[in-house]
Amino acid sequence: MRAAPMATDTPQPSAKKAKVDSGDTIDCVDGNTAACHVAYAMSEACFIYPITPSSSMAELADVWSTQEKRNNVVSNTPTNVTQMQSEGGAAGALHGAASAGALVSTFTASQGLLLMVPVMYKIAGEMLPVVFHVAARQVGSNANSIFGEHGDVMACRATGVCILSSSSVQEVMDLACAAHVAAIRGSLPVLHFFDGFQLSHEIRKIDMIRYETMGTIMQSLKPNLAEFRSRSTHPMHPNMRNMLHGRDTLFQAVEANNKYWNDFPSVMEKALRDVAQACHREKACELFEYQGAADAQYIIVIMGASARTVSECTSYLCNKGEKVGFVVVHLFRPWSLSHFAASLPPTVRAIAVLDRCREPGSLGEPLYQDVSTSILRLGRQIRVVGGRYALGDKPFTPTMCQAVFKRAALVAEANPDHLVPLLNTFTVGINDDVTHLSLPLGPEISTTPTGTRQCIFWGMGSDGTVGANRLAISLIGKHTSLDTQGNFFFTAHKAGGVTTSHLRFSPQPITSSYPIISDADYIACHQQSYLTKFPNMLRPLKSGGTFVINCSWCADSVSQFIPPSFRRLIAQKRAKLFIINANKISRECGLGGHINLIMQVCFFHLSQVMNSVEAIGLLKQSVEQAYHKKGEDVVRKNHEAIDNSISGLLEISYPSSWEVSPETLAPVALAPLLLSNSSFDIGDTQWMQSVKLRVDAMDGHELPVSVFAPSGSCPTSSTRHEKRGIATQIPLWNPAACVQCATCSIVCPHSAIRTLLLTHQEVTSAANHVASVLAVSDPPQFECVPARGINAAEPIMFRVLVSPQDCTGCGVCFNACPCGERGALKMSYLEAPTTQNLAKTLTLLWDHCITKGGVREKLSSIQTIPPRSTVKGSQLLPHLFEFSGACAGCPESSYLRLLCMLFGERLCVGNTAGCSSAISLCFGSCPYTKSTTTGWGPAVSVSLFENGAEYALGIKEGHDVLRTKLYERVSHVLQSEHESLPPDLKVAFSKWVDEFNDSANTVINTQAVIQALTPHHTSTPSLNAIWEERDAFMKISHWAVGGDGWAYDIDFGGLDHVLSLGQDLKVLILDTELYSNTGGQKSKGSAKGSVSKFASGGYSQNKKDFASIVMGYENAYVAQVALYANPAQTLKAFLEAESFPGPAVIIAYCPCIEHGIEGDWVSQTRLAVATGYWPLFRYNPRAPGSHLQVDSPPPSKPVKEFLQHENRFLRLTRENPTVAESLQAELIANVERKVAMLQQLANKRT
């Protein structure tokens, strides 16, 4: 017996070509687009909420509804798309709309799906044909990830919702259609899922289902649709649902609909056949689909995208004569025993079941348990073993699949006496050196089809590399007969992180579902700094392959800059080496730092995957389509860049001596950080060396289980080791023009520019350090000037120091500098030889002065120093938040850094999911650090997006309970043991009790108590009990931190309740006026008239005035700040909020890359304040006189001027000027009303 092979993403030759509204049926799309294409067409309403990686489905549905006015095939009207405040809200709306008789669907993932679970029980019980399209993703536990696995879906299996799995982009489209058909025909909800990122973002060339085809299918469902609507909630045919049952009737009531689940496998099977027939597919997808040898003895059972990897491995092994096969499960719920039995060859002796999820404490994961139970009920003498694979999108390769087949063979052949250990759950793809569950892997096997071209592009987040590669796949897929595939991977950083694009092109069907691991024909490195950071970059390059580097080097100096390990690999692989200065071409053409088109031209020219002349012509057409609304000048600049690309491409001829290049650092490499001389604890240092640096080198896949803490914790202070070196320009300091205001330091989002106070000895020591490292007798001058406003026993010098390797080149410091016209700071491109040499010196100085503590903290030793309430004084405090993964210039990072500088040694943050956590709480990349003197620092943790306020409150109350208990212990000891206490301890205890609620002195008091208690705590049980609870001496500063989507939408109810309690909890709202972390969707903080995802036609509502809501309680401190516009007011607000004895809220203005700001962010922020768009104020209900202080002057510029510099407003003006004019007029009027209201409140005296 041999079943037909699995459906692939490549359209079969016999597939009927037809036209649809938008062109041919063949298109290049990702999984999310495929699912949404069907869901939109077959739904009358969609209720949505953004969550990665499903968000783009909702975004597409919104665009098709509001902009394109695309009609669905149900009612022939645009589908109504509504964004809700949370996934729970979306589920409730789905339930209501379906109860009313509408066909509805949604798109979600991970914890968003879990928020829908309670409602899913109701929807299934009421037999409503709702369809959930899920980009399956990991659910956070001791580790969090945005990447794919099946744990979220498995958590829904008891709800009664039918579960359907797709394993390719083509299947995503076809099974999505079958899901809608079966839901209507079978009167049950369906959860259609596919692997997050692995399928949701994979681009494939597929056969689209035409709207006309779906319309024909929908016509055949008219009787079913009529029956469904006859059961709807409507006063013309009233009925009651969800009745409350007693003990006597509940059991019977819930058993009454069993038949629908029993019949559903047949319903789904018919739906799959109907879709295949309507779309002219060669064969219909099966509920359980077998592929492999007809007489297979060992098979794998699997769901999802990795079934394609198993397919590759199975074909490879069958061709070698091995008797193996596999079953891919499509319909997981209801589980059909008969269909599963029919898929198994009669010769099977052992089954290995692969689950892409983890259920701690169970005997096995869900699919394994279903298969085991099925084999038992069938009475088959087949041994079953289960294992886990590819959690968090870990690659699953054919070599790993081969290891699973070997385990199945061992299980089949094992003597019964030795069988039990082999039946234990296994893992594959990792090195489990703790519980020893991982399977050993053999040599890597290659299953790449002959003629396949494989290409890898190393880019930087937001440089356009991924977008350009998506375009390349589309062009090649649509204009050649090649099958195409694109997968995209990225690090945890926001813009500025590392991206790798893996592209495959083949005359044969592509079935690979894993990254390119060997035989790459083309590798491009778009950032020259990557050569010193990622030593394995060239590992996949095949012999004779092409390697392209975007760099600022000239041809004669290439050997100086390429590390020896790379030179050796290039020569050994006989690679063709090319360089191009794409950054220079981009700047000369007026495109800033956008190099994507230039590098794409190089790819087409060198790879010849398709005719390069034709490709470049199509590339120019795509530019015209994308940018014509921005004007002819923008189109011309892009065309000019395309035309200048090939002439800038240089082929490098290298000597044979490269093949034996020694293992040494390149001469020009900047000095590496010497961890052994750092100020870290030895345990942290070992962790940085064995874990952090390997993760940074993209070698994290090789880390064993034993290096990870079971609870998920890891050391702080890790970002200082990254030294990403992504800036193309850095600020240079001119001491003659500097007024020592420290504005540059307070606004810097990445803590890469700092103000230092140094003694003459420290200045000399720093210069000597540089000289010793560079091996020169005449050290470069370490320019410093006498510090102003400082009174000390010895002369103190002042210096502004920049870290070139940590700087992102955003220019915020330069634009914020009040002495900009005088040239206190100047942005200089690193391409210039003089700047390169200076950058090397600056890096060494930073390493000596900052990293290794060569410049000591002086706040306690200087007699007169600016107080921390001043900008200058605040920047002399320890930097306890540094080098975050934020986008270049992002102010969210600046606010967090200020928070940590002011209160870091006693700071505890309950962070919500969003940008603020994404930039700071990624494994191995923690910008929070600790004081070098006390070892104390910010403690930060995250629960969920929807409960951030409650989580922060819980942390506070937990600490309060422990601190109150300690207070009682200390008070009791002072009373009962007053005479016997040592004098110093008595004084320390008394002062601590007297100043129990004093935030200002709590650090000093805590240090004093611990110091006094240390030598005496073992003398009595009472003192020892206090010693064991000494963490509670500190009065912790508790903050809840999140964005506007958190505060105004998903956790608004929770935050409102927490503030109403009057607790001493502080809240920092980083207001970007949209959902920044998920890609720029509208929130209730969005401005009227702005265009964002889910508001593509312009947001029509006023921004939520959260400040007024909180001020209405009259118990909370409220401030609205803009750091880039007024650092002093921001600083004052932070200090006042923390000292306020009760709840306090700071609403911080955060311009975002999603705003499309034309110009610099600092000027635009100042414009927001100057126009009244973002007024600055502080509200203190306990202040005498007026409670409200307006800190911004009356508007001096029209709001229109602010709107004209941001694409989120300009886009609507270009696309729909009438609507834009109306909405902007309303926005301006609202701004003027708010400014007037604030002034009126400020004038009101109490």
Report angle CA 210, 216, 220 to the nearest 5 degrees.
145
Report the DSSP beta bridge partners of residue 1038: 908
DSSP per position, 1152-1169 = -GGG-BSS-HHHHHHHHH
- Amino acid, single-letter form, for residue 617: G
What are the angstrom distances between the C-alpha of 622 and each of 468, 549, 615, 618, 635?
A: 11, 25, 10, 6, 10
Beta pairing, strands 324-329 & 288-292: antiparallel
For residue 325, give the nearest of 334, 333, 315, 335 by alpha carbon.
Answer: 315
For residue 89, give the nearest of 943, 1087, 914, 946 by alpha carbon.
Answer: 946
The token pair at 488 is 């995209």
The separation between CA 1136 and the C-alpha centre of its own chain, rounded to angstroms, equals 33
Q: Among the options 491, 1077, 1126, 1213, which is catalytic?
A: 1077
Q: Among the options 70, 137, 333, 388, which is catalytic?
A: 137
Looking at residue 65, the DSSP 8-state letter turns out to be H
**If DSSP states are collapsed to H, E and C, what string results for 633-675?**
HHHHHHHHHHHHHHHHCEEECCCHHHHHCCCCCCCCCCCCCCH
With the CA atoms of 543, 548, 553 and 559 taken in that order, what torsion angle do they form, in degrees rounded to the nearest 10?
A: -10
Tokens 């369809």, residue located: 131
The residue length of the chain stands at 1246
Does 574 participate in catalysis according to the annotation? Answer: no
Give the span between the Cα atoms of 600 and 596, in whole angstroms.
6
Beta pairing, strands 383-389 & 453-460: unpaired
Does 269 participate in catalysis according to the annotation? Answer: no
The separation between CA 587 and the C-alpha centre of its own chain, rounded to angstroms, equals 29
What are the angstrom distances between the C-alpha of 759 and each of 766, 787, 1209, 1237?
A: 11, 10, 51, 52
- Amino acid, single-letter form, for residue 1027: W
Residues whose CB is less than 8 angstroms from the CB of residue 847 and which lie 6 or more positions away in sequence, other chains included: 671, 673, 674
Does 724 participate in catalysis according to the annotation? Answer: no
- Amino acid, single-letter form, for residue 1204: Q
DSSP per position, 338-365 = HHHHHHS-TT--EEEEEESS--TTSSS-
- Amino acid, single-letter form, for residue 955: I
The token pair at 748 is 């810097």
Give the span between the Cα atoms of 852 and 676, in whole angstroms.
10
Looking at residue 1093, the DSSP 8-state letter turns out to be B
Give the span between the Cα atoms of 1019 and 924, in whole angstroms.
42
Residues whose CB is less than 8 angstroms from the CB of residue 1003 and which lie 6 or more positions away in sequence, other chains included: 905, 906, 934, 936, 1034
What does residue 291 show for φ and ψ, rounded to 5 degrees? -145, 140
Helix (H) or strand (E) holding 229: helix 222-230
Give the span between the Cα atoms of 270 and 285, in whole angstroms.
10
Q: Among the options 59, 87, 171, 289, which is catalytic?
A: 87
Does 87 participate in catalysis according to the annotation? Answer: yes
Tokens 């399928």, residue located: 199
Q: Among the options 8, 10, 33, 52, which is catalytic?
A: 52
Q: What proportions of the chain, in percent to the nearest 5, are helix, strand and coil?
A: 45, 15, 40
Q: Which residues does the annotation mark as catalytic?
A: 52, 87, 137, 1077
